[in-house]
């Protein structure tokens, strides 16, 4: 038996209450985690449904057993140093059809934000987690760790929208464990420039026939130096993975996508696609697909390419009635549009709007 819970109503209630209490609520209804009041409200409402949604600090106190059982398995950090983060526990056979938002805001200059998120999707459940990270100040450091456990036959959708400012330094680590027949879907988009970013994603396929798909849309602009290191470990038979990255090189940016699939058990499939589109002559893209296998019965494939917009592509669209600028925008928009069909319906408009904005403002 599975329970389907619509969070829309819950969130709406919570947000209405929150704004009547003078709590700042951002446009897409995402919650600013720092605002404890609003966060508590949603958490209370979800709690009635068996879902635990708390700040990590509270979770450590209130649910030490859960934190002990699932937490800090693939991520080693000292919780005492953590100053922010969420804890989400979705009980067995529970489908949350609306996204669970959390939003990290860098609000004070020079602030070092250390985040640890723990997401547990128990067997037979489904959740969409949306993280929007943004900064309101120019100089800050964000360091985040996320650990997710996806139980048997569960689905975890992770949508992440990065929205930083040019001097911000970010280091993020995300580790996901998949049990048998679990699915993990990860959509990432970085839409603004920042100083430096290192983003490590590791997906551990520990259960048989588990699957993962990771789409990364990365915009390198100005002087950003961005590095994405993504690895999926196919440690259980019959599991499969796809890692797809699309990088737009603008300004004087450097973007590296290093995506690896490691086949450990037989009967696994993996595919890596790294593509770059250079808009600026001063930008650099490193598209690095890596396949590792020690088992003969595995199918690993990759594609990689880096190119610039071709004149015949622009001409083709111009002959269909688009101006040169429109044609270039369409080409960029199309290039960046990967994995959108897999994004949960509720999130599509937000992602589309971000993509439209990005492709329109191409320089």
Partner 1 sequence: MAELLRIEGASVSVDNAAIVRDASLEVGRGEIAVLMGPNGSGKSTLLKAIAGLPEYRVVSGKIIYCGNDITQLEPWNRARMGIALAFQNPPKLYLKVGDLIDRLSKIYGSTDLVNDVVKELGLSQLINRDLYIGFSGGEIKRVELALTILMKPKLALLDEPDSGVDVDSIKRIAMYINRLAEENVGVLIVTHTGYILRYIENLGRGYVMINGRIVYGAPSYEVVKKIMVSGYGEFNKVGGVN
Binding site for partner 1 (CB under 8 A): 310-313, 315-324, 326, 330-331, 333-335, 337, 341
| Shortest separation between residue 250's beta carbon and partner 1, angstroms | 17
| Shortest separation between residue 317's beta carbon and partner 1, angstroms | 8
| Shortest separation between residue 355's beta carbon and partner 1, angstroms | 12
Chain center to CA of 218: 12
Q: Give the nearer residue to partner 1 in terms of CB position, either 217 or 250.
A: 217
| Shortest separation between residue 315's beta carbon and partner 1, angstroms | 5
Residue 187 φ then ψ, to 5°: -120, 125
Q: Give the nearer residue to partner 1 in terms of CB position, either 206 or 337.
A: 337
Q: Give the nearer residue to partner 1 in terms of CB position, either 207 or 220.
A: 220
Q: Give the nearer residue to partner 1 in terms of CB position, either 65 or 341.
A: 341
Q: Give the nearer residue to partner 1 in terms of CB position, either 232 or 245.
A: 245
Q: Give the nearer residue to partner 1 in terms of CB position, either 170 or 244.
A: 244
| Shortest separation between residue 342's beta carbon and partner 1, angstroms | 12
| Shortest separation between residue 275's beta carbon and partner 1, angstroms | 9
- What are the CA-CA distances from residue 142 to residues 173, 221, 356 (Å)? 11, 19, 27
């Amino acid at each position: 038996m599975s329970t389907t819970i619509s969070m829309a109503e819950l969130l709406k209630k919570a947000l209405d209450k929150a704004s009547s209490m003078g709590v700042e609520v951002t446009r897409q209804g995402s919650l600013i985690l720092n605002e404890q009041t609003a966060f508590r409200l949603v958490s209370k409402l979800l709690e009635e449904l068996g879902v635990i949604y708390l700040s990590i600090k509270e979770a450590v106190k209130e649910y030490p057993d859960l934190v002990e059982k699932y937490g800090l398995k693939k991520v080693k950090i000292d919780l005492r140093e953590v100053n922010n983060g969420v804890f989400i526990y979705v009980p067995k056979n529970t489908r949350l059809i609306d996204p669970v938002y959390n939003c990290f805001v860098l609000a004070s200059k020079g602030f070092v934000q250390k985040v640890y998120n723990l997401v547990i999707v128990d067997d037979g459940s489904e959740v969409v987690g949306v993280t929007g990270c943004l900064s309101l100040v120019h100089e800050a450091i964000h360091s985040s760790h996320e650990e997710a456990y996806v139980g048997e036959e569960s689905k975890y959708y992770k949508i992440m929208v990065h929205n930083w400012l040019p001097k911000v330094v970010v280091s993020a680590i995300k580790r996901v464990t998949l049990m048998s027949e679990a699915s993990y879907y990860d959509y990432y988009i970085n839409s603004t420039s920042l100083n430096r970013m290192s983003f490590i994603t590791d997906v551990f396929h520990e259960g048989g026939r588990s699957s993962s798909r990771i789409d990364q849309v990365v915009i390198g602009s100005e002087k950003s130096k961005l590095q994405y290191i993504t690895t999926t470990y196919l440690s259980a038979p019959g599991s499969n993975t796809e890692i797809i990255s699309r990088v737009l090189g603008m300004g004087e940016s450097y973007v590296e996508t290093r995506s690896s699939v490691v086949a450990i058990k037989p009967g696994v499939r993996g595919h890596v696609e790294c593509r770059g589109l250079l808009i600026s002559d001063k930008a650099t893209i490193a598209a690095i697909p890596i396949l590792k296998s020690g088992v003969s019965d595995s199918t690993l494939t990759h594609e990689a390419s880096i190119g610039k917009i071709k004149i015949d592509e622009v001409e083709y669209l111009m002959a269909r009635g688009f101006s040169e600028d429109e044609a270039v925008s369409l080409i960029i928009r199309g290039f960046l549009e990967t994995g959108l069909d897999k994004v949960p319906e509720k999130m599509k408009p937000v992602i589309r709007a971000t993509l439209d904005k990005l492709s329109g403002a191409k320089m």
